[in-house]
Structure 1
Amino acid sequence: MEKPLSTPEMEKGSLDLVENSTEPVVIAGRTLRTLADIDPDAEKRLRRKLDRRILPIIILIYLLTFVDRANIGNARIAGLERDLHLKGLDYNILLTSFYVAYVVAELPCQMLTKWIGPGKTLPIFSFMFALFTLVMAFVHTKGAAIAVRFMLGVAEGAVFPGIAFYLSRFYRKDELGFRLACYIVCAPGAGAVGGLLASGILKIDHIGWLRSWRLIFLIEGIISMVVAIVSWFLISDRPSVCKWLTPEERELAEFRLVAENVGQHEAVDRMHSKAVWSGIFNVNTMVVSLIFLFDNCVVQGVGFFLPTIIKSIYPGETVIQQQLRTVPTYVVGCASTLASGYFAWKTKRRGLYMLLSAPFMIIGFVLYIISLRPQIRYAAAFMVAIGAFNFGALATAWSAANVSSDTARSSAIGTTVFFGNCGGLISTWTTLPKDAPRYLPGNTFNLIASCLMFILAGGLIVWQKRENKAKAAGRDDHYLEGRTEAEIADLEQKHPLFRYAH
């Protein structure tokens, strides 16, 4: 087979995937073969339409998943431990039950989403997690609470990776990171909303026999159920079945996804094992997943324990005042997440903003370790929020950007989120009651994790640049020899025209 021609992008070791040359498609009188042939104005109009129709419902769903997950921290300081007679490590066991289910269910649920389609699975699982949130208001024993949190974990295990995969069917790789940031920002946003909601709900004396922390689960569960039902009518599996897109927009939306993935000839392929394993077991997915694991140790720990840390800093304030103290930290985290996602989109760099984020976390945990002064520890909470929340969008986008097929993308995203939530499971045991108020073991662990995140991100960037140069020099050209079209589509990172994006 003739050696592929070199392009300027290949010679300079481009950070982005080389454009795929597909069968010509005529859209609105314009013949398209590569991404360069697309009318920029038409693409901009399409992107804005996708943003208006897709992002609001996705943002709302994810906001509520995180509120319904993290409200356990608000309920804790409102009397949950006292009423359920939790002692010692019982609260940590309660948190662990959620993450055991979350981690176990995540990859199978992601494969189910690929098989059935996110248009069906996302509303169904959203309704399930809303239902189990509501049920939490009625538990009276530790065992019942653990069982309900376990089922909540199963339902939520499908949502985060499912949403990321869903968005990857509509947005190009460089666009994806910012759109992920638009809903992942709901992680710190949910902390702010959750704190405000909890403080407002706690002003209600009772609804029937339900009081105090039970009202948090009841009201937030009902809100989530309503949103899940509405989402059934708003979420479509892929562009080609979106009734709110014109025929030309549907064709353009699918064409641009195919054109940026070398070796691919369809936007949504049929699920097959070779592509699944290719998405999971590659260097990029493994390293990014490990980074996300360490980051989630921090992020989930913030969600579960920040109210408790604030209480230790300001023990003389009322519960409502302590809840409100958590809000500014999350607001800063929201702003940082959106800013890093936006600049990563515009500069086409994901790893760079990971490198810039990690030092904020390092500084924050150093401050936690060296001082017990309330002002310094409160400042530390802001430093951690500025750095930690950025990684959710950046890590998921980095995994999605370095595979080609729809199947490989679903498994790469699922793996990254799976590792991330293993970090969430770890976080439930890094901050223990006996370590209050300094929480030295947990803060030391998170400091080491932040340093490792910085090292891993930098190392992966260096490795990808070297791989791109080797591929540009023709190292992988032989992989095309004697292969069928289907076999070439399964090459993924081995395809000679593939370029790692960092």
Structure 2
Amino acid sequence: MPSRDSDDIPAEAGAPLLSPSFDDHNAFSPIALTDLPRRDSAFPISPPLKSSFDLKTPSTPSTPSLSPSLRSTPSLRPPRPGRKVSFQLYTPPEATHVRRKLDTHLLPLLFTLYFLSFLDRSNIGNASAATLLSDLHLSSAQFTLLLRAFYITYILFEPMTLLYRIVPAHVYIAACVMAWGVVASLQSVVTGFAGLLVLRLLLGTAEAAFGPGVPFYLSFFYRREELAYRVGWFVSAAPLASCVAGALAWGILKGAEGTGVQGWRVLFLVEGFPSAIVAVWCWWWVPDGPGSARWLGKRERRVAVWRLGTGGEEDGVKGKGKGLDWREVRRTLLDPRSYLTAGMFFSCNVAFSSMPVFEPVIVKSMGFNTTAAQGLSALPHFTAFLVVLLVSRLSDKYRSRSPYIMLVALLSMLGYINLAASPALHFPPLLKYLCLFPITAGFFSAVTLTIVWTLDNQDNDSGKGAGVALLNIIGQMGPLLGTGLYPKSDGPDFTKGHIICACFMGMVAVLSFGLRLVLGRKNAASEHNYDLVNEMKNYDGSDQEALDDRNGTDREASSAQSLSNPGRHRTATQALGDWATIIPSGDMADLEKNLRDDTSASDNELPAAARSTENSTISHEDNKDVERNAPAAAPQSTPTPTTTTKPEIDSLPSGPAKNVPTANDAGSIPDGGLQAWLQVAGGFSLFFNTWGNLNTFGVFQTYYESGQLFQETSSNIAWIGAIQSFLVLAVSTLAGPLFDRGYLRLLLVTGSFLVVFGYMMLSLCTEFWQCLLAQGFCVGLGGGMLFVPAVAILPTYFKNKLGLAVGVAASGSSMGGVIYPIVFYRLVNQIGYAWATRVIGFIALATLIVPCTVMKLRVKPGRVRSLVDLTAFTDWPYVLFVLGTFVGYCGLYVMFFYISFYGEARGITSTDLSFYLVPILNAGSTLGRTVPNAISDKTGPLNILFPGALVCGALIFGLIGVNTVGGIVAIAVLFGFFSGVFIALPPVCIAVLTKDKSRIGTRIGMAFGVLAFAVLIGGPGGGGILGGGDPADLNFTGLWAFGGCVATASSLVILALRIQRAGVKLAVKV
């Protein structure tokens, strides 16, 4: 950082300067709200709050009084005559650090709360599937009234959203959560219709006070261009809850059998009481505002307030609530645009409330049995969970709302139209089922963006609160209609319900387009305000009304529709209103003292990267803004703009362009961006077709052991999956160096061909040896060529987000492990083994087009080297890690290969359910491969991998004593989650342990080549322990004991590595 004695004191971190001459058009020009990312945009782009001044101080400074608000802001030392001064309140890295800390501390709790609330409101449907109706003697009409009773009070008490502005949030949220937790739990003791009706009404009241206002609450912490993604995380808890609600309720009801207590009572208590427990945590953890978050340091709290443009306002710093501005509430309620968004929300909620409730019935009407319908209805909701996060992220990134709302609404509408037309067009069941995916993802995404767009169109907290309240009052009437759209009498096609929902989703798109046009016209009317920027240089604020009249803009509307953050407009006016060109020396001394007190209070709260500004430069675009807005008396120097040359990206072995970065050039790693995330998408598809196939073999194993294709022992059949897994890992030894040399395209095309060709040949097989060649060798070889690129390419695009990127890509394996088994099991009895296998081949062909199209090398290939990196054998942390992982993999695949067979052989599960154990396990693994990986970016991968391996061992041991359906399903879900940690994190650990990044491909290939032998030990070795013959003679106890022992031993080896790297200190990232 430049010396304080230098002639110029530059603004830190290249932030755009805000001149004291009142001509910064971002702060003062009234612009209407639309959602375009340019200056005619309604989407507000709020730059960090910075008080930056570039002034020429006269030789004899005068001493006007300084604004009190300015005295509260930090500054630099007094300027000497003739010196220029510029300063800002915080640096962009500081703002980024604080925003990420808000993400990791606030969003998970709110996600959990909404997840619990959605379970508590919807579990009455699962209870009715048990014995609730018969035990309480409820008629169909009474049950329908119970469903709608919740929404009656939910609508009536929507205005309680405004209490977020009045009552401290930690008190208000804790009270709401405690209220619905207690009420939901009390449903377990009701004895009749009247008591349950009262509790449903109270539950609607408590949840109305919490959920609808959370997006409003999040606006206290995030700028507008950051809000959609955060609201997306919150709302995405609903589809995820819908995804797991059925399985969770089924497990609870099964576990309650034999206890003497009705299952639905246990269900209400088990799902309701956790909310009451979490409420206590909310009281301590939830902040009232960014300035009162106890998990932020003093400096961090100030930055959290400043980045919003609240400029040290008391309620921002101390977290104190303020009263409502009833004029703003009235103006919002009279604004026609508020009713357009409310109409969009109403239309979304018609579909939002109907499909999740009736989806199992709709799926069952397609020809699936009850168990399959419950399992299959979860997949569209999990897809919706991912799509909501993706769409909201893109909406924030490109600062746009309406195009994404129109897109997802139209996709949902098309899905409904296809379902409605399916009887006439004679769609097969699988095609009708696939229509559910765009339907569910569409309305969940539209709901999220509609809420955020409502907040975007209000410029103050009172207006936002009123807008959200109005949105929900009107919008939540949609469920009153939606819950009656699918009566049993309309089955099995439910054409009327599909057509109505399609019309409402089309209405969402129409209203979104209409609001876009309205806001666009308002922007066009306000565009000429930019021509008046230069006239504001000498403006002293004395005739604002005359200026507004001259602009032809209503003053109140201008305030409500400002492009910039309203807090920034107010802060700039207060901070600069009393002076324009001169800073008195005495006042500057006071300001400097404030700055020193602030920056020295907690200098170590932020990472070094956030405090360092030595290499920061002002961007060329920002510098042009400074020149355009600078006062005449203070000519600006023009820094040389920093330019970068976009490197050419070459994925061919012919070599990269000259300016392609090297693998060890960490500073060039983009750590995000469209191209980087396209590699994640490609990696997802590769995992889907490599480890996804491996995780599917348990279903093939069960089918082969039925004897319908050939007769062989369990141990011999296991060799097919073992060889396939072995080759996927062993070929990595060859694929790794090829990747390092730049032969990415060759690996992708060849591997894709072998996988698809292998499945097509497998469809023709009728003998054991034929299946061994096609599925074991051919598919295994192809998977081995695809696996290394899936993980080796990501460290070249990501650094700080590497764990998250690998986790998202690795979740493709669990998704494949869910989809492929279900496809095979559902089709094998309908169209036969041959065509069921061919369908899997066609799915592989379609999904492998993605990586072959989008994946590209970012770094130039390294020098030619041998297949084996001999330096790895002297790298003891690497050797120890490979050893620990090897031991763990010996036991890991015991569970994947034999859990389905165990449930059926011991009579614990039916044949139908035994096939679904592997998909259930893989569904749990999806979160296990993403969430822990994202956390590992903060904690370090070894800190997550050790407990994951330890829990895997404990769960395998647990199967020894399991003899109930609920128990085996619960272990399958939990093992899926923690095994996901053990599968997804090793590539991250190898990348961290490899100092020479040009060797990543080779090191990963070597490691997984060693792990290939572990799969050979675990699969056939476990089959040898299991034995053969009569099912009663099978040694499952020895099998699970073997798997548990080696998994536990693996955790101890990883713990030893962790201690070797960082000692016994817990709070160390390693």
Quick check: 1:371 aligned with 2:398?
A: no
- Structure 1 Cα separation of the partners of residues 125 and 326 of structure 2: 40
- Structure 2 Cα separation of the partners of residues 43 and 250 of structure 1: 11
Q: How big is each residue's C-alpha offset from its partner over 1:427-461, in whole Å with a ceiling of 9 and x where there is no partner?
A: 12223233232233322211110111011111111
Match of 1:277 in 2: 330
Match of 1:481 in 2: 545
Contact 2:164 / 2:172 at 8 angstroms: preserved in 1? yes
- Structure 1 Cα separation of the partners of residues 229 and 133 of structure 2: 39
State the AA in 1 paired with 2:559.
Answer: H
How far apart are residue 357 of structure 1 and its match?
A: 0.2
Between 83-92 and 161-170, the greater mean CA deviation after superposition: 83-92
Which of the numbers 424, 430, 444 marks the counterpart of 2:479? Answer: 424
Match of 1:486 in 2: none
Which of the numbers 81, 95, 99 marks the counterpart of 2:147? Answer: 95
Identity %: 26
- Structure 2 Cα separation of the partners of residues 313 and 18 of structure 1: 47
How far apart are residue 207 of structure 1 and its match?
A: 7.8
State the AA in 2 paired with 1:287.
Answer: L
- Structure 2 Cα separation of the partners of residues 292 and 497 of structure 1: 22
Match of 1:325 in 2: 376
Quick check: 1:495 aligned with 2:559?
A: yes
Q: How big is each residue's C-alpha offset from its partner over 1:142-189, in whole Å with a ceiling of 9 and x where there is no partner?
A: 332222211110110011122212211011111111000011001101
Contact 1:479 / 1:496 at 8 angstroms: preserved in 2? no
CA, structure 1 residues 324+382, in 2 after alignment: closer, same or farther (shift >3 Å)? same
How far apart are residue 315 of structure 1 and its match?
A: 5.9
Contact 1:367 / 1:376 at 8 angstroms: preserved in 2? no
Quick check: 1:290 aligned with 2:339?
A: no
CA, structure 1 residues 195+317, in 2 after alignment: closer, same or farther (shift >3 Å)? closer
State the AA in 2 paired with 1:54.
Answer: L
- Structure 1 Cα separation of the partners of residues 429 and 281 of structure 2: 44
CA, structure 1 residues 245+162, in 2 after alignment: closer, same or farther (shift >3 Å)? same
State the AA in 2 paired with 1:143.
Answer: A
State the AA in 1 paired with 2:41.
Answer: S
Contact 1:119 / 1:232 at 8 angstroms: preserved in 2? yes
Q: For 1:230-309, list aligned pairs within 5 A.
A: 230-258=281-309, 269-309=322-362
- Structure 2 Cα separation of the partners of residues 183 and 190 of structure 1: 12
Contact 1:280 / 1:411 at 8 angstroms: preserved in 2? yes
Q: How big is each residue's C-alpha offset from its partner over 1:416-437, in whole Å with a ceiling of 9 and x where there is no partner?
A: 2332211122212223233232
Quick check: 1:433 aligned with 2:488?
A: yes
Match of 1:412 in 2: 467
- Structure 2 Cα separation of the partners of residues 287 and 21 of structure 1: 35
- Structure 2 Cα separation of the partners of residues 59 and 170 of structure 1: 16
Unaligned runs of 5+ in 2: 1-21, 32-37, 52-68, 79-85, 533-541, 548-553, 566-1070
CA, structure 1 residues 496+331, in 2 after alignment: closer, same or farther (shift >3 Å)? closer
Contact 2:228 / 2:396 at 8 angstroms: preserved in 1? yes
Q: How big is each residue's C-alpha offset from its partner over 1:74-109, in whole Å with a ceiling of 9 and x where there is no partner?
A: 2232343333333343332111100001000111x2
How far apart are residue 317 of structure 1 and its match?
A: 3.4
Contact 1:278 / 1:492 at 8 angstroms: preserved in 2? no
How far apart are residue 259 of structure 1 and its match?
A: 5.9
Match of 2:242 in 1: 191
- Structure 2 Cα separation of the partners of residues 124 and 497 of structure 1: 35
Match of 1:151 in 2: 202
Between 132-141 and 6-15, the greater mean CA deviation after superposition: 6-15
Which of the numbers 437, 440, 445 marks the counterpart of 1:390? Answer: 445
Between 55-64 and 114-123, the greater mean CA deviation after superposition: 114-123
- Structure 1 Cα separation of the partners of residues 291 and 415 of structure 2: 46
Contact 1:12 / 1:469 at 8 angstroms: preserved in 2? no
Match of 1:115 in 2: 166
Match of 2:435 in 1: 380
CA, structure 1 residues 37+75, in 2 after alignment: closer, same or farther (shift >3 Å)? same
Q: How big is each residue's C-alpha offset from its partner over 1:189-227, in whole Å with a ceiling of 9 and x where there is no partner?
A: 110121221121122134854323332211101222222
* Corresponding residue SS for 1:473: helix
CA, structure 1 residues 40+290, in 2 after alignment: closer, same or farther (shift >3 Å)? same
Contact 1:362 / 1:451 at 8 angstroms: preserved in 2? yes
- Structure 2 Cα separation of the partners of residues 170 and 330 of structure 1: 28
How far apart are residue 336 of structure 1 and its match?
A: 0.8
Quick check: 1:400 aligned with 2:459?
A: no
Match of 1:487 in 2: none
Which of the numbers 33, 44, 51 marks the counterpart of 1:17? Answer: 44
Match of 1:58 in 2: 110
CA, structure 1 residues 245+125, in 2 after alignment: closer, same or farther (shift >3 Å)? same
CA, structure 1 residues 292+216, in 2 after alignment: closer, same or farther (shift >3 Å)? same
How far apart are residue 287 of structure 1 and its match?
A: 1.0
State the AA in 2 paired with 1:414.
Answer: A
State the AA in 1 paired with 2:118.
Answer: F
Which of the numbers 45, 63, 69 marks the counterpart of 2:97? Answer: 45
Between 490-499 and 182-191, the greater mean CA deviation after superposition: 490-499
* Corresponding residue SS for 2:309: helix
State the AA in 1 paired with 2:147.
Answer: L
Q: How big is each residue's C-alpha offset from its partner over 1:49-89, in whole Å with a ceiling of 9 and x where there is no partner?
A: 11111111111001111111122222232343333333343
State the AA in 2 paired with 1:316.
Answer: N
Aligned residues: CA RMSD = 3.3
Q: How many residues are paired up? A: 485
Contact 1:299 / 1:388 at 8 angstroms: preserved in 2? yes
State the AA in 2 paired with 1:100.
Answer: I
How far apart are residue 468 of structure 1 and its match?
A: 1.2
How far apart are residue 36 of structure 1 and its match?
A: 9.0
Quick check: 1:215 aligned with 2:266?
A: yes
Between 398-407 and 111-120, the greater mean CA deviation after superposition: 111-120
How far apart are residue 39 of structure 1 and its match?
A: 1.9
Match of 2:512 in 1: 457
Contact 2:50 / 2:88 at 8 angstroms: preserved in 1? no
How far apart are residue 401 of structure 1 and its match?
A: 1.1
* Corresponding residue SS for 1:13: coil
Contact 2:458 / 2:561 at 8 angstroms: preserved in 1? no
Contact 2:74 / 2:89 at 8 angstroms: preserved in 1? no
How far apart are residue 26 of structure 1 and its match?
A: 3.8
How far apart are residue 128 of structure 1 and its match?
A: 1.1
Unaligned runs of 5+ in 1: 484-489
- Structure 1 Cα separation of the partners of residues 227 and 385 of structure 2: 18
CA, structure 1 residues 382+67, in 2 after alignment: closer, same or farther (shift >3 Å)? same
Contact 1:368 / 1:377 at 8 angstroms: preserved in 2? yes
State the AA in 1 paired with 2:136.
Answer: L
Match of 1:443 in 2: 498
Contact 1:160 / 1:417 at 8 angstroms: preserved in 2? no
- Structure 1 Cα separation of the partners of residues 501 and 439 of structure 2: 10
Match of 2:839 in 1: none
State the AA in 2 paired with 1:494.
Answer: S
- Structure 1 Cα separation of the partners of residues 162 and 24 of structure 2: 37
Which of the numbers 132, 141, 146 marks the counterpart of 2:192? Answer: 141
Match of 2:1028 in 1: none
Quick check: 1:352 aligned with 2:403?
A: yes
- Structure 2 Cα separation of the partners of residues 300 and 221 of structure 1: 21
Contact 1:81 / 1:87 at 8 angstroms: preserved in 2? yes
Between 294-303 and 275-284, the greater mean CA deviation after superposition: 275-284
How far apart are residue 332 of structure 1 and its match?
A: 0.6
- Structure 1 Cα separation of the partners of residues 496 and 275 of structure 2: 36
Match of 1:472 in 2: 527
Instruction: Tell me which of the two structures has the higher relative contact order, counting C-alpha pairs closer than 8 angstroms and 6 or more residues apart.
Output: 1
